[in-house]
Structure 1
C-alpha cells in the first residue's frame, strides 16, 4: 500500500526533481491537462481533477499520517490537482464554445503563474489550509490556490476582452 501511495503522491517520482518539485509538477500538469481536454473535453479534465484530488488525499494520508503538520516537498499530486483546477477556467469555456484550447494560450500562462504565486505566497485561505495539517492540509491548500488562480484567470480574461472594462 505504501508503494502505491508514494507512486501517486510523487506523481511517479516527479516529486523528487530538484529544485522546486512543486513547480516541476505544475509544469508537467499542463501538457497532461491539454491531453485530457483534447481527449474528452472539460468533463474528462474535471473527472481527472477529482480523481487526482481523491487519490492524492488518500496517498498523502498514508505518507504523512493524520498528525504531521509539514507538507513534504516530494508530495506533488496536490500541485497537479490544483493546477488542473486552475485550468478549468479555460477548459470549460473552450469546450462549451468549441474553441481550440491552445488558442487560449494567455489563459494557460495566467493559470500557471497565478497558481504558483498563490501556492508559494499562501495568502488567506491558502495559508489557513496549509497550516491545518495532515492529508487535508497537503491537498486543500493547493486546491484553494487552484481555485483562486482559475478565478484570477477569468478576471484577467474579462479585462483583456473588455468585458470588465465596459468595452
Structure 2
C-alpha cells in the first residue's frame, strides 16, 4: 500500500539573512482532517480527531480518553471495559503502525491512541475515584508520559522504527507510564487512604 500523502507540513521560516538552509529539509508532517478520514487506522491512532490538536496533542488525547472513559462507564460494566481495553491494544498497535508508516514518522506526536489506551487502563484499574482522584491520575500520567523518567525513557527507546516493532514502541512507553501512575496512586492510597 502506498503512503497516504495528504498531510500538511509544518511551516518553518528562516531568520532574515540566514538563507534557505535554516529551514529543515523535511519538516515533520501534521495530519489534516482529510488524512484522519482516509483510513480507519488514522481515525483510531489520532484519537478520533483529538490528535489533530496543534497544541499538546498528547494532553488533548489524554483528556479525550478521560471523557470517553466517563461516558463508557455509563453503559458498560467494569468487566466489559476491561474487554474493550484488551481488544483496543492489538487494534491500537495496528492503527499506530499503519498511521506512522503513512505519516513517514516513527513515533508521530499526533498519534495519541497510546495515551488513550494507557489512560483507560489507569482509570479502569484505579476506580472508583472521585473527580480529584481522577484529576491526580491524569496529572501523574501526563507527567510520566511527558518527562519520561527512568523506566518510561527505557521503554521509549526500546522499540523504535517502522513496522510491527515500531507500533509496539509507540504504545510501550505509555503503558509503562500508566504502570508508574498506578504505582504512585497505590502508594498514596496505602499511606493516606
Runs in 1 of length 4+ with deviation above 3 angstroms?
none
Q: Tell me which of the two structures has the higher relative contact order, counting C-alpha pairs closer than 8 angstroms and 6 or more residues apart.
A: 1
Q: Is structure 2 residue 61 aligned with structure 1 residue 35?
A: no
Q: CA RMSD in A?
A: 2.0
Q: How many residues align?
A: 149
Distance 1:47 1:117 in 2: 27
| Residue 88 of structure 1, CA deviation | 2.4
Q: Distance in 1 between matches of 2:67 and 2:81?
A: 12
**Matches of 1:75 and 1:38 in 2, distance apart?**
27
Unmatched runs of 5 consecutive residues or more in structure 2: 2-37, 161-165
The correspondence for 1:26, drawn from 62, 65, 69, is 62
Between structure 1 and structure 2, the one with the greater Rg is 2
Match of 1:12 among 38, 44, 48: 48
What runs of 5+ residues in structure 1 fail to find an aligned partner?
95-100, 162-167
Normalised TM-score (structure 2): 0.70
Q: 1:49 to 1:123 in 2, by over 3 A?
A: same
Distance in 1 (alpha carbons) for counterparts of 2:185 and 2:134: 9
What secondary structure is seen at the aligned counterpart in 2 of 1:13? Answer: helix
Matched with 1:47 is 83
For the 8 Å contact 1:89–1:154, the answer to whether it is kept is no
Deviates more, 1:151-160 or 1:27-36: 151-160
Cross-structure match for 2:131: 105
